[in-house]
Amino acid sequence: MKLLEGIRVLDMTNVLSGPFATLHLALLGAEVIKIETPGSGDLARKLGNVPKYNQELMGTSFLAQNANKKSMTLNLKTEEGKEIFRKLVETADVLVENFRPGVLERLGFPYEELARLNPRIIYCAISGFGQTGPDAFKPAYDQIIQGLSGVMSINGDERLNPLRCGFPVCDTVGGLNAAFAIMAALYYRERTGEGQFIDIALLDSIMPLMGWVAANLLIGGQQPVLLGNDNFTAAPSGMFRTKDGYINIAANQQEQWENLADALGLSELKTDPRFQERDTRKANRFLLTPLLEAKLTQETTAHWVEVLNAKGIPSGDVLSLEEALTSPQAQHRRVLEEVETPGIGKVKLFNLTAKFSKTPGQIETPPPTLSQHTEEILAGLGYGADEIRALREKQVI
């Protein structure tokens, strides 16, 4: 049995935050139906670094987030399209959208109407700022939220700040938050039979991820310190130069610091008043780093990773993205799954990273072509071949 077997999700989302949420539901076995605009579909179909795929509406950005889903096209501005949508809502368990607030309401489908059609439906709306508040109706992309959330202000160092995160972290975390909330709402429905409305804001979603930094400000009264690749909670903890590159070392505990000093032949630093105690060591990190790097640069990263890990000092190489994705550990964990995709060939996509012992999730079907499943879904709603042909002629689908 699949974890979400029998759950039907109407996915009205575009680009990243919403598709990332519904991807996790699809990997767990839900039937996720992407409802897309006829002719164009999800904007992500045109996004990516391979122009040929963009022209075929199968851009790399779309491929990354839409395995295991079905695609149907539907023009919700037509009466016929609205009627089909009502029938879909009656059969659905979850509806997810990431429009600006009020879009579905203007089309005649506020939550109250959907709940009237199906009291068990769980409606999850994802937006930049949420459905309420002074900024609710402002447009928002990931970088806008990175700036407004404070994320960019705490990245980098005195030479490079503000600095955005190198991937769309707010969109991604917003999608994870939505998936988590939907699962919680499904659990509540199991006990009560009641659906509900979920309001997810990207701004709300990202802020708690800065919990430790925010706590230092809110509780300890300390403004964030720009430390670049150093860890503000401990020293020595961060990235250091070696003979052939860089190494991450996290000597966060006193014992780890003392073992590090011994491993580098710097045992005298353990009793140096500048470095002996944790907080003074943090205050003097910029004096400590050159002393450590004088030793670290005498050997390779691989040498130090082996030596330090053997002594219980957490350390690791700083890999390129390609090296990370092809590492033995990532391969062992099956982080990526190779999927045969018609018209493209084999593509590597991220698998479900939660490992369930009884209900494992996995990629079973490639991302769908635009409208690939429209006829199948309409037939399931009771539409005949002639009716479907007429709907296509009227550009309802």
Per-residue pLDDT tens over the stretch 30-39: 999 999 999 9
Read off the pLDDT band of 213 (50, 70, 90).
very high
pLDDT of residue 50: 96
Domains for the chain: give ranges and CATH numbers: 8-208+332-393 (3.40.50.10540), 246-317 (3.30.1540.10)
Q: Is 375 exposed, middle or buried (0-12, 13-18, 19+ CB in 10 A)?
A: middle
pLDDT of residue 305: 98
Torsion sign (Cα): 186, 192, 193, 195 = negative
> What's the CA gap between 30 and 27, in Å, rounded?
7
Per-residue pLDDT tens over the stretch 178-200: 999 999 999 999 999 999 999 99
Tokens read off for 376: 């199948």
pLDDT of residue 1: 86
Region 148-175: what's the mean pLDDT?
96
**Any idea what DSSP says for residue 46?**
G
Q: Annotated catalytic sites, by residue?
A: 171
Q: Is the pLDDT of residue 301 over 90?
A: yes
Give me the chain's average pLDDT, please. Answer: 96
Please give the share of the chain, as a percent, with pLDDT higher than 70: 100
For the chain, helix (H) and strand (E) counts, in that order, are 19, 11
Helix (H) or strand (E) holding 61: helix 60-65
Distance between terminal CA atoms of the chain?
Answer: 33
Separation in Å, CA 82 to CA 59, 221, 334: 29, 54, 41
26-203-164 Cα angle (round to 5): 95
Q: Where are the alpha helices (DSSP H) in 232-357?
A: 254-263, 278-283, 285-296, 301-310, 321-325, 328-332
Per-residue pLDDT tens over the stretch 349-374: 999 999 999 999 999 999 999 999 99
> What's the CA gap between 263 and 295, in Å, rounded?
10
Would you say 71 and 41 are in contact if contact means Cβ atoms under 8 Å apart? Answer: yes
Region 304-317: what's the mean pLDDT?
97
Per-residue pLDDT tens over the stretch 94-139: 999 999 999 999 999 999 999 999 999 999 999 999 999 999 999 9
pLDDT of residue 285: 95
